[in-house]
Chains A and B, each alone.
Chain A
Amino acid sequence: MSVKSSSGLFTRVGEILKDDSNRSSLLLLPVTVFELVFFVVPMLYLLRISLYEQTSQGAFKEGTWTLSTYADVITSGYIQDLMWFTFKFAIISTAISVAIGVFYAYAIWRAEQKLRMLLLFGVVLPLLTTLVVKLYAGVLLLSPGGAINEVLISTGIRSEPIQLMNNFLGVLIGQLYITVPYSVLAIYSVLSTMDWEIVEAARDLGANRVRSFYEVVLPEIVPGIAVASVISFAWGIGAYSSPAILGTARQTTFALEVESLMLSEFNWPAAAALSLIMLLVVLVSIIVLFRFLDSRGGETDYV
């Protein structure tokens, strides 16, 4: 049985390889094997774990099959609240991140050489700095004794510190610090291929700045906006470190719950099921988003 199926597999791989006139496909073999062994197979194993029975001892009960973990997870009011919160959080942070991304990318595009380098540096450096450092910066800035409150109090604008962290606002700021650089670069990489002359033509024809932006620039950068939204949204659904450091129990997200199920409660089936639900939410949202942008793109083509 196993011999038969594997010879079938090899025949298939052979056919795919033969498809190419030259043997370039052989170069793709290492990465294909890598992705299959350390990505696809582990994902399937996770799916298998989510179907084991839960047990109070150890990770899961060997050899069992059940859908009850999914039923438990989906019907739990606590998990539902948490999913709803995470979803809302992801939408809000994505909207802001993309809006800032469009603005900032536009500024880079319009800037002269030196300013452009500064603006690019301003996003590439945070992008390549670990989340932990960015969130630590968040604490230094936002905490009651942090830089912002110190300035506000020493200048007499406020007599008491404002609550900037351990609440929704703090988590949101932390999250934006993580996603904005990605949004900016995703949009800029599309925008940078566009000619400024097109915008000038629109302005010569009498469009003001805002209108020329909406009608000329925006439709062109839809692919960049799509990528920026997908990345920000995926980070939002998977938000882990920002709520852990800048939030409280009220900002518990999907990812924090997965961590506690996995590492504190050792409930592997529940952690696996919740992970897969999270993955499904991300993938479905990406598909919906692309459908939406496709239909919008189709319309603008005809206008």
Chain B
Amino acid sequence: MFKREQIETAAFRIGYITLVVMLLLPLVIIISTSITESSYLSFPPKEISLQWYQKFLESDQWLTAMKNSLITSTGTMLLSTTLGVLAALGVEGSRGKLSTYLVPLVLLPLLIPAVVTAVTLLTFYSKLGIQQSYLGIILAHSLWATPLVFFIMQSVFARFDWSLRDAGLDLGASRIRAFWEVVLPGVRNGIFASMLIAFIISLQEFIMALFLSGFDTRTVPVLAYISLREILDPLVSVVSTVMIGAAVIIVIGASLAIGLNQLSKNL
């Protein structure tokens, strides 16, 4: 019996260690192929060089894509954080009909295959005349980022001690002042984490961006995908490394704000 338990424990350990290695190793391999000397991909790299990073910084195509990505991600962050925070606040205070219908509606875009949403918006945008624009991509990405902000903020507001606000109101503060001076400081970290998540969701999304962007507005993942289907070159490794780096920074930032454990539960 004792022996069997030991074998089980060992198998369990090997199991999850294998999985975590399988999840992270591919990203490590990408990073290592970005610092190779040769013009073809090899792993492990024979000689280390930063020449592909230099080529990346000299490439107008990639720099434009970077700029496009930053514009759409920032736009998505601002729009979806505003919508999501207001909605979470509204649901927190209300038990009306609207909120019961609204929550499934806000969640639904996450469950619909991205290609369907992309095709839907593509046809709709061509009617509105906003196809291939930054605005179009921002709106599409906000359909995904808003529910995530909403859920993070819902759990942040649920843990906030609302009697503090009521005390503020009793002492004569207006609703807006009570929110600004009492609620906001208490939920600031949650809002910060939501903004980071909204930003990264938009930065990394590519199926909707692929359908909805044009030559001038295509984002980094879209350009990486196009390059990936044509030819494998280490520039894609460099770009991928940059994207992984962005994800690492965001995970660390959001973890510092609300804790990795809490972040994981809300994603």
Flag if B111 contacts A230 (CB, 8 Å): yes
Return chain B residues, CB-CB under 8 Å to A146: 43
Asked if B115 is at the interface of the complex by the 8 Å CB criterion, the answer is yes
- Select A104's contact among B16, B108, B250, beta carbons within 8 Å: B16
CB distance from B221 to the nearest CB of A (A): 4
Given the known A-B contacts A31-B106, A116-B261, are A185 and B23 also in contact in the complex, defined by CB atoms under 8 Å? no
Asked if B121 is at the interface of the complex by the 8 Å CB criterion, the answer is yes
Asked if A91 is at the interface of the complex by the 8 Å CB criterion, the answer is no
Asked if A301 is at the interface of the complex by the 8 Å CB criterion, the answer is no
Flag if B112 contacts A234 (CB, 8 Å): yes
Asked if B186 is at the interface of the complex by the 8 Å CB criterion, the answer is no
Asked if B182 is at the interface of the complex by the 8 Å CB criterion, the answer is no
Flag if B23 contacts A180 (CB, 8 Å): yes
Q: Which stretch of A3-11, A66-74, A194-202, A254-262 is in the interface?
A: A254-262
Return chain B residues, CB-CB under 8 Å to A24: 89-94, 96
Q: Which of B114-128 contact A (CB under 8 A)?
A: 114-116, 119-124, 127
Return chain A residues, CB-CB under 8 Å to B122: 262
In whole angstroms, how far apart are the Cα atoms of A38 and B137 in the complex?
12
Closest chain B residue to A263 by CB distance?
B211
Flag if B206 contacts A192 (CB, 8 Å): no
Asked if A152 is at the interface of the complex by the 8 Å CB criterion, the answer is no
Return chain A residues, CB-CB under 8 Å to B27: 125-126, 129, 133, 137
Asked if B265 is at the interface of the complex by the 8 Å CB criterion, the answer is yes
Return chain A residues, CB-CB under 8 Å to B112: 234, 238, 279, 282
Return chain B residues, CB-CB under 8 Å to A120: 260-261, 264
In whole angstroms, how far apart are the Cα atoms of A45 and B113 in the complex?
17
Asked if A32 is at the interface of the complex by the 8 Å CB criterion, the answer is yes
Return chain B residues, CB-CB under 8 Å to A271: 119
Looking at chain A's contact residues, the main secondary structure is: helix
Given the known A-B contacts A130-B206, A133-B30, A255-B113, are A209 and B265 also in contact in the complex, defined by CB atoms under 8 Å? no
CB distance from A62 to the nearest CB of B (A): 12
Given the known A-B contacts A31-B146, A38-B143, A136-B236, are A185 and B83 also in contact in the complex, defined by CB atoms under 8 Å? no
Give per-residue flags for B79-106: 1 if the beta carbon is below 8 A from chain A beta carbons, else 0: 0001110110111111111110010011
Asked if B66 is at the interface of the complex by the 8 Å CB criterion, the answer is no
Asked if A141 is at the interface of the complex by the 8 Å CB criterion, the answer is yes
Flag if A140 contacts B105 (CB, 8 Å): no
In whole angstroms, how far apart are the Cα atoms of A43 and B250 in the complex?
33
Closest chain A residue to B41 by CB distance?
A140
A sample of 15 inter-chain contacts (CB < 8 A) reads A20-B93, A24-B93, A28-B98, A38-B124, A107-B12, A120-B260, A128-B201, A129-B243, A132-B224, A139-B232, A234-B112, A240-B114, A241-B207, A272-B119, A282-B111
Asked if A147 is at the interface of the complex by the 8 Å CB criterion, the answer is yes
- Select A238's contact among B109, B114, B228, beta carbons within 8 Å: B114
Interface size class of A (residues with CB under 8 A): 35 or more
Return chain B residues, CB-CB under 8 Å to A278: 113, 115-116
Return chain A residues, CB-CB under 8 Å to B201: 128
Residues on A close to B: CB < 8 A? 16-17, 19-20, 22, 24-28, 30-32, 34-35, 38-43, 45-46, 49, 59, 100, 103-104, 107, 116-141, 146-147, 150, 177, 180-181, 185, 188-189, 192, 209, 230-231, 234-235, 237-238, 240-241, 244-245, 254-255, 258-259, 262-263, 268, 271-272, 275-276, 278-279, 282-283, 286
Sorted from nearest, which 6 A-B pairs have the closest CB atoms? A238-B113, A24-B93, A137-B26, A27-B90, A130-B204, A42-B124
Flag if B265 contacts A46 (CB, 8 Å): no
- Select A140's contact among B33, B95, B121, B205, beta carbons within 8 Å: B33
Return chain A residues, CB-CB under 8 Å to B70: none
Interface size class of B (residues with CB under 8 A): 35 or more
Asked if B58 is at the interface of the complex by the 8 Å CB criterion, the answer is no
Flag if A209 contacts B5 (CB, 8 Å): yes
Given the known A-B contacts A24-B90, A126-B23, are A275 and B120 also in contact in the complex, defined by CB atoms under 8 Å? yes
Asked if B164 is at the interface of the complex by the 8 Å CB criterion, the answer is no
CB distance from A23 to the nearest CB of B (A): 9
Given contacts A117-B260, A238-B113, 4 further A-B contacts (CB under 8 A): A27-B87, A129-B204, A135-B228, A231-B111
Flag if A129 contacts B90 (CB, 8 Å): no
Flag if B29 contacts A137 (CB, 8 Å): yes
Flag if A123 contacts B264 (CB, 8 Å): yes
- Select B146's contact among A34, A124, A209, A279, beta carbons within 8 Å: A34
Flag if B30 contacts A137 (CB, 8 Å): yes
Asked if B167 is at the interface of the complex by the 8 Å CB criterion, the answer is no
In whole angstroms, how far apart are the Cα atoms of A116 and B99 in the complex?
35
Return chain B residues, CB-CB under 8 Å to A283: 111
Closest chain B residue to A117 by CB distance?
B260
Flag if B87 contacts A46 (CB, 8 Å): no
CB distance from A69 to the nearest CB of B (A): 14
Closest chain B residue to A13 by CB distance?
B98
